[in-house]
Structure 1
Amino acid sequence: MNKRNFIVTGASLAAATVLTTGCTTTGGASSSPAERRQAIDSSADAALTRLYREAPGSQEIIAASQGTLVFPAVVSAGFIIGGSHGQGAMRKAGKTTGYYRMTEASLGLLGGAQSQALFISFMTEAALNSFLNSRGWTVGVDGTITFLSVGANARVTTQTVQQPIVGFVLTNGGLMANISINGNRITQLDL
């Protein structure tokens, strides 16, 4: 197989993987909106429980935020051409106030597949309003997120909560070279 065929075949497989994996994490298309909301809420609850267990201080940040987007499974895959997809919920004071989709397409030196839980906390009313008033919000363009490490030595400091937008990423599984969420677009789901 020549180099061009190898690249085209790899890119096609990566795109197919993203599409099929993204579809399997969202519930079936035949699911009712109520079933989809319930599935997203249940997954968000489980992801938050895991975050609180693995990242000391994260529960305090979520509680202090004006609102937190919880994406329990953002699936990324690709080989040269790739993408990511996930669905989640906006939580305010422990209650879901809306449902959202995160998507990205990318081209470049990347390879592999990975699933991550992603949490984006809006610490100021201005940051939250900017997000809520957008007709599609792009990470790194419409808002810069200060990401916190999750691990045995992760600690939240007083400087952390002074940032307008704070995020956590937990790896669910897989290995992806050159993973980044900059450029991911977040739009509201009509559920």
Structure 2
Amino acid sequence: MSLKPLRIAALLGAMLVAACSSTLTTPFTASSDATSRAQLEQDARDALKNLYASTPRAKELSANAAGVLVFPSILKAGLLIGGSGGNGVLFGRDGSVKGYYNAGAVSWGMQAGAQNFSEAMVLMTPEAVKNLDTADGWSVGMGPSVAVADSGMARDVTTTTARPDVFAFIYGQSGLMAGLGVQGQKITRLPN
């Protein structure tokens, strides 16, 4: 059996990951203007309204949360090797902006396609919010306990099952991404 098709697929996947990481997860820079952040904030508020309209449980959780981190648009693409990324906003309990963040991930496995989705992370404790700022990039599954909410049900994605510090909602999917892959998401605060 020839390995040439596998090598070509891996090369195409690596190129796709590089394209995603350079165009979609580019953090704001000093030259970025306030308009970009204002647009990101508005997109995040709109995405959060959509989540609350479709998932009342998310609104209930948010009422008691220390903060809500919203990524209005994360693009995921891959062919054996994949990547995803997007920028988001952390809102405090009072709805004020507490910071801007970048989420990025690399995945590998049997996968192909592209998908765009929104993600909201309801941070239940002040420690979960603090962890965002004190950790050198926060990896989902490596820091606080995270539960992914799927169709109203929550399943824990870490070894801690007592009480999740963070509930993650994935919603508004468009596009097609098929396959099985291993992925870890890293969230990093963007400079002010």
Q: What TM-score do the two structures reach when normalised by structure 1?
A: 0.81
CA contact (8 A) 2:100 2:189 kept: yes
* CA shift digits 1:121-167 (9 cap, x unpaired): 111122222222212111111233111124xxx379xxxxx532111
> In the alignment, which residue of structure 2 is the partner of 1:54?
54
Aligned counterparts of 1:144 and 1:137: Cα–Cα separation in 2: 12
Q: Pick closer, same or farther for the CA change 1:35–1:10 going to 2, 3 Å.
A: same
Amino acid of the residue matched to residue 122 of structure 2? S
Using the TM superposition, give the Cα deviation of residue 101 of structure 1 relative to its aligned residue in structure 2, in angstroms: 0.3
* CA shift digits 1:24-56 (9 cap, x unpaired): xx7998973311210110110110110011102
Aligned counterparts of 1:27 and 1:70: Cα–Cα separation in 2: 15
Q: Pick closer, same or farther for the CA change 1:52–1:114 going to 2, 3 Å.
A: same
Amino acid of the residue matched to residue 56 of structure 1? P
Q: Pick closer, same or farther for the CA change 1:145–1:79 going to 2, 3 Å.
A: same
Q: Superposition pairs for residues 116-135 of structure 1, below 5 Å?
A: 116-135=117-136
| Unaligned stretches of 5+ residues in structure 1 | 157-161
| Unaligned stretches of 5+ residues in structure 2 | 155-162
- State the SS of the aligned residue for 2:112: strand
- State the SS of the aligned residue for 2:56: coil
> In the alignment, which residue of structure 1 is the partner of 2:174?
173
CA contact (8 A) 1:55 1:155 kept: no
Counting strand residues as a fraction of each chain, which structure ranks higher? 2
Using the TM superposition, give the Cα deviation of residue 10 of structure 1 relative to its aligned residue in structure 2, in angstroms: 3.3
Count of aligned pairs: 181
Q: Pick closer, same or farther for the CA change 1:35–1:164 going to 2, 3 Å.
A: same
CA contact (8 A) 2:144 2:164 kept: no
- State the SS of the aligned residue for 1:185: strand
Q: What TM-score do the two structures reach when normalised by structure 2?
A: 0.80
